[in-house]
């Protein structure tokens, strides 16, 4: 059970799992089927769950007057989890969706610009639209004007024998074997699928980290903000 297993090793393991010959010189036409099945299974598993070890953050530097930005090459819009904007020294959450209400306030079609940036949306050709259009550039010395995208990165290429899988090798092999055995109407296809599902549940349980609960400990948010304490001033309206 490991990540980073080469495609060549995965093909050999899958041959063994479904009872095919391990001689690489035999069944060369079948190898394409094995590789395709491995690739397809890994893509489905990637799409099915937000694997924490694939979580990344990528920064976009804002440019004055630029409305659309290319997405980072290893991210797609569908796997974005959250987006933040650095305004001065503070990271602020950005909201998803740009529509009529926003354009009525700052009309990007008329190149109306403002600062800070509040919202983002999908745009064609794997680009991202930001609103409002920035009226200044990113400040390199402080980082102000950065848009930070958090998400699940794309899978690495898995084409050459030396390419490595991003997901657990046993998980990929068990699901791939169940797929092939079912296609061949083999009696053990159902059992192999059960093994795959059980292993999948174990992996997700191990990856679901949670804070440790300590009996008698204080409850509530333990985060302490920087700077002086905030003081609320209440003005009475009663004579």
Give the E-state strand segments of 48-87 in sequence order.
55-61, 68-70, 80-87
Find the distance separating the first CA and the last CA of the chain, reported in whole Å. 74
- Residue 234's pLDDT is what? 37
Of residues 223 and 126, which shows the higher confidence score? 126
Q: At what angle do helices 7-18 and 28-48 cross, to 10 degrees?
A: 100
Band of pLDDT at residue 39, cut at 50, 70 and 90: very high
Which residue carries 């009663």 as its tokens? 238
- Burial label for 209, CB within 10 Å (0-12, 13-18, 19+), is exposed
- Burial label for 134, CB within 10 Å (0-12, 13-18, 19+), is buried
Measured CA distances, 57 to 4, 151, 152, 172 (Å) = 21, 6, 9, 26
The 10s digit of each residue's pLDDT in 147-183 is 999 999 999 999 999 999 999 999 999 999 999 999 8
Q: What is the model's pTM?
A: 0.79
Omega prior to 132 cis, within 30 of 0: yes
Band of pLDDT at residue 20, cut at 50, 70 and 90: confident
Strand order in the sheet with 68-70: 68-70, 127-131, 119-123, 95-96
pLDDT of residue 119 exceeding 80:
yes
């Amino acid at each position: 059970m490991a990540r980073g297993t080469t495609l060549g090793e995965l093909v050999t393991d899958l041959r063994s799992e479904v009872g095919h010959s391990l001689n690489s010189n035999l069944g060369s036409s079948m190898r394409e089927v094995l590789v395709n099945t491995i690739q397809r299974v890994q893509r489905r598993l990637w799409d099915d769950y937000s694997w924490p070890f694939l979580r990344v953050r990528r920064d976009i530097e804002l440019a004055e007057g630029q409305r659309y930005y290319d997405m980072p090459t290893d991210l797609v819009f569908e796997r974005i989890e959250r987006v933040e904007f650095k305004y001065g020294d503070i990271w602020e959450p950005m909201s998803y969706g740009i529509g009529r209400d926003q354009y009525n306030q700052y009309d990007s079609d008329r190149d109306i610009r403002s600062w800070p940036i509040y919202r983002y949306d999908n745009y064609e050709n794997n680009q991202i639209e930001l609103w409002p259009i920035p009226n200044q550039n990113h400040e390199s010395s402080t980082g102000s004007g950065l848009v930070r995208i958090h998400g699940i990165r794309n899978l690495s290429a898995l084409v050459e024998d030396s390419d490595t899988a991003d997901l657990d090798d046993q998980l990929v092999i068990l699901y791939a074997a169940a797929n092939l055995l079912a296609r061949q109407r083999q009696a053990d296809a159902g059992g192999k699928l059960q093994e795959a599902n059980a292993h999948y549940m174990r992996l997700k349980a191990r990856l679901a980290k949670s804070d440790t609960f300590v009996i008698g400990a204080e409850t509530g948010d333990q985060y302490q903000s920087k700077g002086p304490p905030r003081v609320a001033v209440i003005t009475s309206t009663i004579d």
